[in-house]
C-alpha cells in the first residue's frame, strides 16, 4: 500500500499548492495607489458645454444579452454565487436626432460567450443605430462593438461612428480572431476611415465628452453625458463591471483580468479615481459596463428609460 500513501502525499501537496493559486487568481485585489490616474471633472463639464446645440433630453437602455458568471470573477474575493452580467446599448435622444453609446453584440458572438440573447432587443438596437447621427463605444471588445460590426450596412454606419485610433488599431489586429472571425469582415474594412485621435478629453456632441481610460483595453474610454436638465452620467465601459468594484475598491479577479489581457495596474488606478470621484460627486450617476442592479435602479428612478 505504499503507492496509496504516496498518492496521499501528492494529493496533499496539490491541495497545499492550490490554496495560494486560488487566492492569487480569485481573491487578491490590492488597492492601487492614488495619483496614477485623474479625471478633471470641472474640465469635462466645461467641454460638455463647448458644443452649440441642445443637449440630450433622454437616455434609453436596451439589454441585448446576459451572461452568467460567479461573483468572485466580477469582484475578487466575492462568493461563487452566479450573477448575470447584462450586455447593453444606450441611446441619447436629442431634439431632432439620436446618438448610440456601445453596440452590444449579435447572436453568434453571444453564443460564443455562453450568453442568453434577446433577438427583439437586438433588432431594436440595430434600428436605432441605423437612424443615429453618432455612434461611439467605450472599448473594442466584441460585447461592446460586435453589434455594430455585425450590421449589414456597416460601411454606411462607419460614417457616423467615431472610433478612436486605439480602437481601430485593435480591431484591425483582431478581425480574423474569434469571436470576430464569425462576422467574416473584410480585411480592408477600415481603409480610408479617419479615426478620432485625442489625448485626454474630447467633446463629440453637445453634452457628450470622451475620457481616455486605457487599461481594460488599449482603446478603453469613459463617456460623460450631461442631459438638458443637468442630470449627469458617466458610462464606465469595463473599467468597472459593477458599482461594487468602485464602492469597495476591489477589481475583477486576476483570472478575469488575465483572460481579458487587462492591465491590472492601470485599471486599479482608474478604480481608485472613480472611488474618489463618486464620493466627491454623488450626483454623478456612474453606469458600469455590466451592472443589472444599477440599470434597474436608474430605470426605477426615472433616470433611464428601458427599451429603444
* Cα gap 131→160, rounded to integer Å: 10
- Non-local (6+) Cβ contacts of 255 within 8 A are 25, 26, 73
Mean model confidence pLDDT for the chain: 90
188 CB-contact burial (10 Å; exposed 0-12 / middle 13-18 / buried 19+): exposed
Cα four-point dihedral sign 301, 302, 304, 305: positive
Q: What is the pLDDT of residue 14?
A: 37
Closest to 115 (Cα-Cα) out of 63, 74, 167, 79: 63
Predicted confidence band of residue 8 (pLDDT cuts 50, 70, 90): very low
Q: With contact defined as beta carbons under 8 Å apart, do 77 and 27 qualify?
A: yes
Secondary structure letter of residue 27 according to DSSP? I
Q: What is the pLDDT of residue 4?
A: 26
The tally of CA atoms less than 13 A away on the side-chain side of residue 112 is 15
* Cα gap 201→198, rounded to integer Å: 7
For the ranges 21-35, 103-117, 266-280, the lowest mean pLDDT is seen at 21-35
pLDDT tens per residue, range 47-104: 999 999 999 999 999 999 999 999 999 998 888 899 999 999 999 999 999 999 999 9
Closest to 150 (Cα-Cα) out of 105, 88, 89: 105
The tally of CA atoms less than 13 A away on the side-chain side of residue 225 is 28
* Cα gap 94→212, rounded to integer Å: 24
* Cα gap 182→277, rounded to integer Å: 40
Q: Which three cell numbers stand for residue 16?
A: 497545499
Rounded to an integer, the average pLDDT of 13-25 is 54
Amino acid at each position: 500500500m505504499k503507492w496509496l500513501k504516496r498518492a496521499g502525499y501528492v494529493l496533499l501537496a496539490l491541495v497545499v499548492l492550490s490554496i495560494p493559486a486560488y487566492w492569487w487568481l480569485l481573491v487578491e485585489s490590492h488597492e492601487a495607489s492614488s495619483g496614477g490616474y485623474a479625471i478633471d471633472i470641472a474640465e469635462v463639464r466645461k467641454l460638455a458645454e463647448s458644443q452649440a446645440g441642445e443637449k440630450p433630453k433622454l437616455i434609453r437602455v436596451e439589454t441585448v444579452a446576459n451572461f452568467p458568471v460567479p461573483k468572485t470573477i466580477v469582484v475578487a474575493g466575492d462568493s461563487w454565487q452566479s450573477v448575470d452580467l447584462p450586455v447593453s446599448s444606450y441611446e441619447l435622444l436629442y431634439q431632432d436626432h439620436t446618438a448610440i453609446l456601445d453596440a452590444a453584440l449579435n447572436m453568434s458572438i453571444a453564443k460564443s460567450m455562453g450568453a442568453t440573447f434577446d433577438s427583439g432587443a437586438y433588432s431594436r438596437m440595430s434600428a436605432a443605430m441605423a437612424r443615429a447621427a453618432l455612434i461611439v463605444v467605450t472599448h473594442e471588445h466584441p460585447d461592446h462593438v460586435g453589434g455594430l460590426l455585425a450590421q449589414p450596412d456597416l460601411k454606411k454606419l462607419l460614417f457616423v461612428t467615431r472610433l478612436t485610433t486605439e480602437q481601430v488599431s485593435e480591431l484591425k489586429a483582431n478581425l480574423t480572431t474569434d469571436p470576430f472571425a464569425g462576422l467574416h469582415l473584410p480585411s480592408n474594412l477600415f481603409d480610408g476611415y479617419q479615426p478620432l485621435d485625442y489625448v485626454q478629453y474630447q467633446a463629440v456632441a453637445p453634452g457628450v465628452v470622451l475620457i481616455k481610460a486605457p487599461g481594460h483595453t488599449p482603446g478603453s474610454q469613459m463617456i460623460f453625458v450631461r442631459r438638458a436638465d443637468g442630470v449627469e452620467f458617466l458610462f464606465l465601459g469595463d473599467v468597472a463591471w459593477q458599482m461594487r468594484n468602485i464602492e469597495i475598491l476591489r477589481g475583477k479577479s486576476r483570472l478575469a483580468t488575465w483572460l481579458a489581457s487587462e492591465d491590472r495596474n492601470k485599471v486599479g488606478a482608474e478604480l481608485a479615481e472613480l472611488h474618489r470621484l463618486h464620493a466627491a460627486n454623488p450626483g454623478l450617476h456612474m453606469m458600469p459596463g455590466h451592472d443589472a442592479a444599477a440599470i434597474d435602479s436608474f430605470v426605477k428612478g426615472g433616470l433611464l428609460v428601458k427599451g429603444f
